[in-house]
Each structure stands twice: as C-alpha cells, then as structure tokens.
Chains A and B, each alone.
Chain A
Amino acid sequence: MPKKTTRRTNNNSTSATTASSTNPIPTARPKNIQHPQEDYKPGFHVQEKSVFKTQKGLSEDVVRQISAHKNEPTWMTDFRLKAYATFLKKRMPPWGADLSTINFDDIYYYLKPVNQQGRTWNDIPDEIKSTFDRLGIPQAERRYLAGVGAQYESEVVYHSISKHLEDKGVIFMDTDQALHKHPEIFRKYFSTIVPPADNKFAALNSAVWSGGTFLYVPAGVHVELPLQAYFRINAEKMGQFERTLIIAEEGSSVHYVEGCSAPSYSSESLHSAVVEIVVKKGARVQYTTIQNWDKKVYNLVTKRAQAFQDATMFWLDGNLGSKITMKYPSVYLMEPGARAEILSLAFASDGQHQDAGGKAIHVAPNTTSRIISRSISKRSGRSSYRGTLEVHRGATGVKSHVVCDALLLDKESRSDTYPTMKVEEASATVEHEATVRKISEEQLFYLQSRGLTEDAARGMIVNGFVEPIVKELPMEYAVEMNRLIEMEMEGSIG
C-alpha cells in the first residue's frame, strides 16, 4: 500500500483555512486513539461545503423544511410532525448516563453537501473522496466489497451496489432513496419496530431522520460478503439522525457492518439513530457496529429487531468512542425457534461513559438467547452494562444465558452492571453471571517472565479478554480493533 503523506499548514492556528478543492488541509490536533492507517489521525475535518442547511435548533418549521427538501410524500411529513410533537411531550430518561448538558437548541439538524448521489468513486467531489480515503477504504479493497454506502453530513453521498446483488433482488440504498423508490415495502415496515413514542430520542429521530441504510433481502437469498457503510459527522454542532431499516425475508441471510468516525470539535455533537430489523422465518441477520465517535459526541441509539420462527438475530456492538453512549440492541423473539445473540464490547477511557448492553424479550416458546458483554474501563472512564431479559407468560421452554465481564485498569476507573431478569414461566432456564476484576497479577507475571514488557503484556491480556467478541468481526475490523486496543493500552501505566 503506498505511504500517504500528511500535509500540514505552517501556521499553528486551528481555524479552518480555505482549502482548495483538491487538497484539503487537516486543521485539528490528533487525539489519543490512532487509527491503524498510518497517517490518519481521527479529529481532522475538511472545510465544510454545505449546500442546504436548516437554521440552528428544532421547530415545526425545521421539520417541514427537511421534509420539503427531500420531496417526501405527505404521509412522511405528517409522520415527522407527529413525532416532533411526541418528542416535545416525552421526558428525558430518568436512568442511565448524565444527559443534562445536551442543548437541543444548539444543534443543526440537517445539512445536504452535494446535489447528486454518485455511482462510483470517481463521481464524488475530491474533498469528500479524500475524507473516505483517509477513513481507509483502499482502492484495492473495493472489489471485495459488495457495496459501500458512505454518509457525509446527513446524506448518503456515495452508494454503489454490485450487479451481482442487484440481480439477486437485494435492495441496498440510503433510506431517503428507498422511501421514493420502494414505497410499498418501506411503508410496510417503517417505524413498526421502533414507534416514535418509544422514547424521547426515537421521537427525535422520527422527526428529523435523514440518511441511513435500507436493506432488503428477498427470500432464500444469501449475501456472502458483509455490506458496509461509513458515517461521518463533519459540520460544527451537527447532529446525526440516520434511520436504518433492514428486512430479511424467509430463509435469507445478510451481514451488515457499520463503522463510524467523527472529527474533533470544540462543542458537542449529537448522534441519535434508530435501527429497525425484521428477521423472518429461517433467516439470519448479523449487524456489526464499531463505534469510534470523537469523545465529544453524545451517542444515543435505539436498535431493535424482531425475530420470527427459527430466525437468528446477531448484534455485535463495539463501543470505543463518544463522550456518552446509551445503546441497548434488542431482540424480540416472536415465534418459536427464534434465537438472539448479542455481543457487546465497551471500552471507556478518560471522561467517557459507555452505557451499553442488550435486551432479549422472549415472547414465544422454545426461544433462546445469549448475551456476552466485555467491558474495559481505563483512567476515569466508566463502563456500564445495562440489560433486560424477559420471559413472557406462555413462553415455555426458554433458555437464556448472559455473561458480563468487566476489566478495571486503574484506580479511577468505574464499572457497573445493571441486569434485569423478569421470568413469568417456570419452564424457563435463565442464567446470568457477572464478574468485575483487574488484570490478573499472575498472568502479568507469567508474560513478563517470558520477556514481554509490562505494557505489551497488558495489551496481550486485554486483547485476549475481548477475543470472544473480536473473533466475530470481519477480518479488517478485527485487526483494527486489536490495534486500537493495543494503542489504548500503551502508556496505561503511570
């Protein structure tokens, strides 16, 4: 891979200099976590070139503007307005992380960077392309990806689907487009899994949603390669409200991967997404997220799936960045034979609070669930596992197993576990266990006696600790994850 060189200005001012359209100049300082791509330092941004931006803050007017700009059908405009009214009525969650510093009036809710969506990489403006290049989608890899969707600001700028997928009838496009091109399927499932009234942030998303992925897999179709999408928050005080809808028809299977990155800014950003997934009879959906938002971002997400007969829903949730994350991927097991697997990885460092976990709701008999959570807290970071396991009346023969392990690296670190089990059927077998500990002295001693430095030994142990989750990631993410963890572990002593 050719080595890329970083270009820097000579002056040390952090204000954005006007960039030429071909050579954007990074202006922000690099942060602790280094992306394994050598020259990429998360925290850079390119000079914003917006085309349409709503005024700061939220109002009925802003909601109408967004809908009008997207040329949406009346039913969607009405839906948004109703959701906005719900948002105003709903209160902030009385539990979880501290959200008191969010100022809803101080955010831009919509920004559209280019007029047309490109078909291939070459159609995209250079400066935006450079952003993706820096995120590390090497040219050579594109062949191996079945499709890549990338969201810049609030619109999906680039989306390409290989002919292979199209021939199979797989629909993979941004949610805005899907509303126009596939209204019947869209309307059938949209907001049926997460209604606006579910919680305050679902209501907010329902009112101002923009972008996100719409993925429809027809019956019997197996999509072998993971489908990926990248997100970026780039403008100052920009919110991200993507709405993702995935429908897997009977007997189909697909793996969707979501990885995020956001540059550094002096004020907070808000990310409040909603993901709805329907897994029909015998189908399998895996949804993998590696979240590495800048440490100023509030990441408040509602992710929910419904699994039907003999279907499997697999959530793999990696939370590394953001200032505060509140996210609990859930699976509702609606029919017999349905299965839920939730793997949650959280790494909280200085000033971060990762409040994550998972929920499995057993509505039907003979359903199973497994939740594995691994969390690491470093310096003053706080990692919390929050989960719910419910077995409803009539759901006989349920088996569930939840294991949460937490690693505390320093004296100032904090770990919490808040699991809830509600069982209303005697024939259920529900097991939960959790441990919190620090890195074992014996393990450290052993590795050091083999000649490793303490840092290297710690890095190895932590990578081993997260192995059950990392091994389920697509290879390039697994490598990235291991490197990110090693880098985080460097200098973790003293």
Chain B
Amino acid sequence: MPLSTAAPQAPHKKAPTAPSAPKIIFRTDGRSETLSLAAGESLLYVFFTQHVGGATNATAGTPTPVAPATAAVGDAKDQELKFILQGRQAHIEVIGIDVARTGAAKVKLTIEHAQGDTRSQAQVKSVLGGNAHGEVHGLIKIDKGADGSDAYFAHRTLLLANAAGKEQPHNHTVPALEIEANEVKAGHASTTGTFDIMDIFYLLTRGLSEEQAQQLVLEGFVLSALEKIADVTTREQAIKAAETRLAQLQEIR
C-alpha cells in the first residue's frame, strides 16, 4: 500500500450545545397532524393510538373474543404524523404507545430532516393482544445537504399469544429510511415477539405467579418509555393513560 507523508487531519468534534426546554404535546385522540420545527426548537410529542372497530365489549374473565373483528385493516383510520425539522439545532422526540386488545390502528410517522444539525429520536411501543391489528410505518427522511443530522427510530412490539387455535394479534411494521446526505447518523430498529421466557422464569423463581410475572413485564415494557419524560405533569399524565389501557387489556386476559 502506498505510504503517505501528509499529516492526517484529526476528526472534528463539535461542542455539545445546551438543550432548550422542550415544548410538549400530548395526544390520545389519534389525530393526524404535521408540525414544523424552527431553528433551536425542541419538541416532545407523546401520543397514544386509537384502535377502530373490533368487538365492542368483552366481559371480564372470558377468553379472547371469538367473534370476528368488525373492522379489517383497511377500515383503520390512518393516523398520519409528520414532523419537519426546518431549522438548525431543532430537536424532536416522539414517544408513541399502542396498546389494544381488538380493532385496528394504522400509524404513519414521518420525520424529515430538512436542515442539518438536527436531531430526532422516535420510539413506538406496541402491545397487541386479543385479535388486535397494529400497523406502524416510521419513515426517517434526511434531505440533501442536511449534514449533521442524527436520527433514530425504534419500534418494539409485544404480542400476547392466545390459546392455540384461537385468533391471534397481528403486527405490521415498516420502518423506512431515505437518506440523501452523507454526514449523518441514521438508524432504526424493530423487534416483534412475546414475553422473553427467561424474564418470566426469573420472576417465577422469585415466587410470582405466571400472570403476575407477565403483568410486571408488560408494565415495564410500556412504562419504561414514559418514565424518562422530564416534565412531571406530562409524565404522570402519560403513565396514567398507559395504565388505563393496560387495565383494559387485562379484562379479557
């Protein structure tokens, strides 16, 4: 290999900037909206999905509703959320929670880095039981010239298995990337599965029943996304909304 006598340049490291207090938006109505962030703006967007259709009532203690879901995926109202980072140093954090035992929900999340030196972190956590159907699209788009962008999207789904032969929940996830600038960091991850057998086993060895163990893991799965919210009011609001939905889930389990 040819040897070079020129002194190499040390990599340039940027000094971290102090974050400004983020604006917070909290939604549980499943609405679609498009928001633009200007330079230096910081936004925390927390949303809970709305499932459409499905069995309208399920009495406590009964197993999974065997009655067919009244809504197919096509009927689900698309929840379209678009965030455009238009000014430098803009920062968006999205936390989405999708907990359902029936019905269908379709979320189309798009985060566009129109300017460089912007950051985005998006995470969606889904818990699907019964015959629920969840569909999450997460597109990260980094435009040409938006160097210095840092984007990450993670979608994690916990599926609650029903007895063999009964209807099962469905998950459809499409994380996507369209990257046209090269001085960027962009990534995404998606996992789908049920309870980790080792997690449950550990809790069983501590004297919990299988139901209790699953409940704890379930709560941890959803609440861990919300417990890190800095603002106290929002955090409590979010945790309460999550707990309500988890309780509804219990009614049929």
Measured CB to CB, the residues of A under 8 A from B are 393, 406, 408-438, 441-442, 444-445, 448-449, 451-454, 456, 460
Contact of A436 among B157, B186, B191 (CB under 8 A): B186
Closest to A451 in B: B3
Closest to B153 in A: A434
B4 and A454 contact, CB distance less than 8 A:
yes
Contact of A423 among B171, B183, B185 (CB under 8 A): B171
B163-205 contacts to A, CB under 8 A, are 168-194
16 A–B contacts, CB within 8 A, in A order = A408-B181, A416-B178, A421-B171, A421-B172, A421-B173, A421-B192, A422-B171, A423-B172, A425-B159, A426-B168, A426-B193, A429-B193, A441-B11, A442-B11, A448-B4, A452-B1
B177 and A425 contact, CB distance less than 8 A:
no
CA distance A418 to B186 in the complex (A): 14
Indicate if B161 sits at the interface (CB-CB under 8 A): yes
Indicate if B15 sits at the interface (CB-CB under 8 A): no
A424 and B168 contact, CB distance less than 8 A:
yes
CA distance A410 to B184 in the complex (A): 11
B4 and A452 contact, CB distance less than 8 A:
yes
Q: Given that A419-B176, A449-B8 are known contacts, is A432 also in contact with B182, CB under 8 Å in the complex?
A: no
A431 and B174 contact, CB distance less than 8 A:
no
CA distance A112 to B53 in the complex (A): 61
Contact of B185 among A431, A437, A442 (CB under 8 A): A437
A-B contacts at CB below 8 angstroms, number: 143
Closest to B190 in A: A432
- Most chain B CB atoms below 10 A, which of A421, A438, A441, A444: A421
CA distance A425 to B166 in the complex (A): 11
Closest to B13 in A: A441
Measured CB to CB, the residues of B under 8 A from A are 1-4, 8-12, 144-145, 147, 157, 159-162, 168-194
A433 and B144 contact, CB distance less than 8 A:
no
Closest to B152 in A: A435
Q: Given that A413-B182, A415-B177 are known contacts, is A434 also in contact with B188, CB under 8 Å in the complex?
A: yes
Which 7 A-B pairs give the minimum distances between C-beta atoms?
Answer: A448-B8, A441-B11, A426-B161, A426-B159, A408-B182, A435-B187, A417-B177
Q: Which residues of B contact A452 (CB under 8 A)?
A: 1-4
Q: Kindly provide the distance from the CB of A352 to the nearest chain B CB, expressed in whole angstroms.
A: 15
CA distance A432 to B3 in the complex (A): 40
Contact of B188 among A408, A416, A417 (CB under 8 A): A417
Q: Kindly provide the distance from the CB of A427 to the nearest chain B CB, expressed in whole angstroms.
A: 6
Closest to B186 in A: A436
Q: Kindly provide the distance from the CB of A414 to the nearest chain B CB, expressed in whole angstroms.
A: 5
Contact of B179 among A429, A436, A451 (CB under 8 A): A436
Q: Which residues of B contact A429 (CB under 8 A)?
A: 191-193
B176 and A418 contact, CB distance less than 8 A:
yes
Q: Which residues of A contact B168 (CB under 8 A)?
A: 393, 424-426
Q: Which residues of A contact B10 (CB under 8 A)?
A: 445
CA distance A373 to B194 in the complex (A): 26
Q: Which residues of A contact B144 (CB under 8 A)?
A: 411-412
Query: Told that A411-B144, A423-B159, A437-B185 touch, could you supply 8 new A-B pairs with CB distance under 8 A?
Result: A406-B177, A412-B144, A419-B174, A422-B171, A428-B192, A431-B192, A435-B186, A437-B184
CA distance A411 to B142 in the complex (A): 12
Q: Kindly provide the distance from the CB of B31 to the nearest chain A CB, expressed in whole angstroms.
A: 25
- Most chain B CB atoms below 10 A, which of A417, A418, A436, A460: A436
Q: Kindly provide the distance from the CB of A405 to the nearest chain B CB, expressed in whole angstroms.
A: 9
Contact of A409 among B147, B160, B171, B182 (CB under 8 A): B182
A424 and B191 contact, CB distance less than 8 A:
no
A433 and B188 contact, CB distance less than 8 A:
yes
Q: Which residues of A contact B177 (CB under 8 A)?
A: 406, 415-417, 434, 436
CA distance A437 to B172 in the complex (A): 26
Q: Which residues of B contact A424 (CB under 8 A)?
A: 168, 170-171
- Most chain B CB atoms below 10 A, which of A420, A425, A426: A426
Contact of A414 among B180, B183, B192 (CB under 8 A): B180
